[in-house]
Amino acid sequence: MNMEESMKRSLRSVLYVPGINEKAMRKAATLPVDAIVLDLEDSVLHERKSEARDTLSRFLTANRSGFHGKYVVVRVNGRDTEFWDDDLDMVTPARPDAVLLPKVIDPDIPRNAREKLNKGGSESTAIWCMIENPLGILKLESIVENGRADGVECLVLGTNDLIKDSDIDPGEGRKNLIPWLAHVTLVAKSFNIQVIDGVLNNIHDLDALKAESEVAKAMGMSGKTIIHPLQVETVNRCFSPSVEELDHWRRIVHAYSLPENVGKGVINLDGVMVERLHLEIANRQLRDYGSDV
């Protein structure tokens, strides 16, 4: 899968799985998630980093075809760690679809990763960037604008680290974080890349998960990162179009296909004035969700 194709992928549910846990990786491959992040960073103790890299390398080499079309991502350790070079060297034989870079705070980080990936023969491997501290948000426009040439196709919000590093109280429903999340989404949309929301640590609070997911979708995010199979169904449902939404989009497309409306810019659809920009939205949504008109 090349980077252009991957941008068309649905990324509703993105599951983190420790790269040192073979049992969990095998289980993840059977779940109805859109993407799996095989993690070498936060979920692996410092003294077990090398072991995790070897485990993940063997697992992916032996089982790369067993993910049943899921988008496979490897989260490496940061550029400022001793594990950066070895983690990226593992990527070529492991053949993930993308590499997730943690704590991206300047354009040089994805550029350095791109140079190393290309040198190893992984030119088609996309780059995802974790945005998880205030400096990353402050420099985000430069990171994304320059990073597009380096294969940056997705931003992943690290809300836990963002809260930790900024001392912000997220507030009820993360209301105090909304301006920052909205800024990340705005920058991503400006450069036509996707945004994935941060995790909810309470795996049993599905009401909170639903609420966070609905807000993230309303803001224009593509999906949400999750940490447990219990969260899959809720996130997939929230980031999928409702029957009513699909019907509305189909009716707009149908209305503009009628002979009497072909040359019109604005039409009256059930008492609502609809413009051709709404037709563009409807066509895009139906295309992105793979729905037949």
Tokens of 222: 């593509």
The third-level CATH classification (topology) of the domain covering 3-238 is TIM Barrel (3.20.20)
pLDDT digits (tens, 9 = 90+) for 135-179: 999 999 999 999 999 999 999 999 999 999 999 999 999 999 999
Residues facing 99 on adjacent strands: 74, 127
85 is in an annotated binding site: no
292 is in an annotated binding site: no
pLDDT digits (tens, 9 = 90+) for 65-117: 789 889 999 999 999 999 999 999 999 889 999 999 999 999 999 999 999 99
Give the model's pLDDT for residue 2: 42
- Comparing CA positions, the residue from 281, 256, 286, 284 lying closest to residue 268 is 256
Terminal Cα-to-Cα distance of the chain (whole angstroms): 26
Q: pLDDT-based confidence at 292, cuts 50/70/90? A: very low
The tally of CA atoms less than 13 A away on the side-chain side of residue 262 is 4
The H or E element that residue 162 is part of is helix 159-166
Give the orientation angle of helix 108-119 with respect to helix 84-94, to 10 degrees. Answer: 50
89 is in an annotated binding site: no
Give the model's pLDDT for residue 3: 42
Pinpoint the residues of the chain covered by CATH 3.20.20.60: 3-238
Give the model's pLDDT for residue 290: 57
- Comparing CA positions, the residue from 146, 141, 75, 79 lying closest to residue 107 is 146
Give the model's pLDDT for residue 38: 98
Burial of 211 (0-12, 13-18, 19+ CB in 10 A): middle
Give the model's pLDDT for residue 7: 47
Residues facing 15 on adjacent strands: 36, 226
For residues 73 and 83, what is the distance between their CA atoms, to the nearest angstrom? 17
Tokens of 140: 């985000």
| pTM score | 0.88
